[in-house]
């Protein structure tokens, strides 16, 4: 059975960075519903046109469409061989219940870890408010964490999405759904403190995930441990 992780966190919690490192360190396939939906739009399909309208309005796309995209991936030989990290899915209670049931019925998939990266709301808002976009290169900077070269400072802009009122709305939308989504995988939940330097976040991520998946009482064998996590298993002497 391949590994299946779910990453859940509010916008700007650093999930993208954790995900990048995890994908470098392991064989897991990244399944982001946001990316899959954007692919659908690029393909210009009928579904794509409907998706584009919903995404542009900042609304959630219909569950039938999203679940179908995920099923296709979970059934593909590549994902079945390599395992996956779900990013941006499940986002609602009914998506969560659907996935839990799909896993049971498939007799192939099981959710190994539901990882919540925790960051206080005020820190999330501060991270977004300090972020600047260079409209010429699309590079992202941060006034505190990643200052731009002085020569381009005057052309930087704040994205609408990053303005404090928008950011608070995005956070509250996430929080409204997060508790019920998490409840569907209650026995697989692990929490990581996302309010620390990125390297420490990733170290903690590996430690808690490894303990959950391969710790005492686990049925998973050592051959399913991705390379980076092997170090953590050795260090934590699980
Ligand atoms: P993301 O890239 O994860 O921020 O997603 C971008 C947009 O895609 C969201 O604002 C939604 O419109 C749509 N979307 C992504 N994932 C889902 C999902 N699980 N359910 C419904 N809509 C989604």
Closest ligand 1 atom number to CA of residue 37? 8
- Look at residue 178 in the predicted model and tell me its pLDDT: 94
Q: How far is the CA of 38 from the centre of ligand 1 (A)?
A: 9
How far CA 175 is from CA of 18, 23, 46, 182, 235, in Å, comes to 20, 26, 32, 11, 34
DSSP state of 59: P
- Look at residue 74 in the predicted model and tell me its pLDDT: 98
- Look at residue 221 in the predicted model and tell me its pLDDT: 79
Residue ranges in the chain modelled with pLDDT below 50: none
**156 CB within 6 A, ligand 1:** no
- Look at residue 235 in the predicted model and tell me its pLDDT: 67
Say how far apart CA 46 and CA 61 lie, in whole Å. 14
**41 CB within 6 A, ligand 1:** no
pLDDT tens per residue across span 60-85? 899 999 999 999 999 999 999 999 99
Q: How far is the CA of 114 from the centre of ligand 1 (A)?
A: 18
Which of 6, 10, 55, 73 is the pocket-test mutation for ligand 1 (most atoms within 8 Å of CB)?
55
Q: How far is the CA of 68 from the centre of ligand 1 (A)?
A: 14
Instruction: Give the closest residue (by CA) to ligand 1 atom 2.
Output: 34
**37 CB within 6 A, ligand 1:** yes
Give yes or no for a contact between 105 and 66, defined as CB atoms under 8 angstroms apart: no
Which of 6, 34, 58 is the pocket-test mutation for ligand 1 (most atoms within 8 Å of CB)?
34
**54 CB within 6 A, ligand 1:** yes
Say how far apart CA 95 and CA 63 lie, in whole Å. 7
- Look at residue 167 in the predicted model and tell me its pLDDT: 86
- Look at residue 215 in the predicted model and tell me its pLDDT: 87
Residue 30: strand, helix, or coil = strand
Instruction: Give the closest residue (by CA) to ligand 1 atom 19.
Output: 89
Say how far apart CA 206 and CA 212 lie, in whole Å. 10
């Amino acid at each position: 059975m391949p590994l299946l992780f779910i990453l859940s966190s509010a916008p700007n919690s650093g999930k993208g960075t954790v995900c990048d490192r995890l994908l470098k360190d392991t064989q897991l396939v990244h399944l982001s519903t946001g990316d899959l939906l954007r692919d659908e739009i690029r393909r210009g399909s009928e579904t794509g046109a409907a998706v584009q309208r919903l995404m542009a309005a900042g609304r959630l796309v219909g569950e039938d469409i999203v679940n179908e995209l995920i099923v296709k991936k979970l059934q593909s030989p590549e994902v079945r061989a390599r395992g996956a990290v779900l990013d941006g899915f499940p986002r609602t209670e009914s998506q969560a219940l659907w996935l839990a049931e799909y896993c049971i019925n498939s007799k192939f998939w099981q959710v190994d870890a539901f990882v919540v990266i925790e960051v206080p709301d005020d820190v999330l808002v501060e991270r977004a408010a300090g972020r600047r976009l260079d409209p010429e290169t699309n590079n992202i900077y941060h006034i505190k964490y990643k200052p731009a070269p002085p020569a381009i400072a005057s052309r930087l802009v704040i994205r609408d999405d990053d303005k404090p009122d928008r950011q608070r709305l995005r956070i509250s939308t996430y929080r409204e759904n997060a508790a019920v989504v998490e409840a569907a995988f209650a026995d697989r939940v692990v929490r990581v403190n996302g309010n620390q330097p990125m390297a420490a976040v990733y170290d903690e991520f590996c430690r808690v995930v490894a303990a959950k998946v391969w710790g005492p009482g686990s049925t998973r064998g050592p051959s399913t441990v991705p390379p980076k996590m092997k170090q953590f298993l050795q260090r934590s002497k699980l």
